[in-house]
Amino acid sequence: MQPSSVFTLLLLPLAILATPLPEAFPEAIPEPMPAGLNEEGDVSLPTVPSAADIFKRSYQTCRIIGASQVNCRTGPSTKYPATWVVKEGGLYGFTCYESGECADGNCTWDRIVWDGNICYVNGHYTDNNCTPARLGKCA
C-alpha cells in the first residue's frame, strides 16, 4: 500500500466522527399534547432546537499574552480606535470572535463585553482558551 492510502484510511474514521448528525425530532414527548390549533388552523407541534442553539459557544475567560499591554479596539482592526487597554497576564471575559485585519499571522479578533461596552483584542494576544472553536463566530 502507498503511504498516502494508509494516511487516508487512518483519517477516514475521524472524518466520519466529525460529520454533523442531521437534526431529529425527540424520540418521545413526555406529556400528551393538547389538541389546540394555532392561528393558521394547524396543530401546534413542539419546536426542535437548531444545531446552532445546541452548540452555542460559551463565555470564555482568557489570559492576555505576548505584550505588556494590548489595545482593545471598537472593531476587528487596528484602524478602529482603542477604547481600553488590557494588561499582560490579566484574565478577561470573551464572548465570540470576528475575522479582521491580521496581526502576526492571526486574523481573529476576540470580543470582550463589560458593562455594556464591547471591544476587540487580536487573537495573537489571547491564550488557548480563546480559540475560534471555543468562542464561536460573533452573530
Strand ranges for 8-128 from DSSP E = 60-63, 69-73, 82-87, 91-103, 106-114, 117-122
Q: What is the pLDDT of residue 37?
A: 47
Q: What is the pLDDT of residues 44-91, one digit of tens each?
A: 455 565 555 544 556 899 999 999 999 999 999 999 999 999 999 999
90-96 mean pLDDT:
95
Q: What is the pLDDT of residue 101?
A: 96
86-103 mean pLDDT:
95
Q: Which of 48, 59, 60, 61 minimizes the C-alpha distance to 21?
A: 48
Higher pLDDT, 41 or 5: 5
Higher pLDDT, 43 or 3: 3
Q: Cell 487512518, residue?
A: 10
Q: Cell 480606535, residue?
A: 81
Instruction: Check whether 32 has a pLDDT greater than 50.
Output: no
Specify the range with the lowest mean pLDDT, choosing from 29-38, 74-83, 94-103, 112-121.
29-38
Higher pLDDT, 61 or 7: 61
16-30 mean pLDDT:
52
For the chain, how many helices (H) and strands (E)?
3, 6
Q: What domains can be seen in the chain, in order of their start residue?
A: 60-135 (2.30.30.40)
DSSP state of 16: H
Q: What is the pLDDT of residue 25?
A: 45
> Is residue 54 within 8 Å of residue 76, measured between CB atoms?
no
Q: Cell 426542535, residue?
A: 48
21-46 mean pLDDT:
49
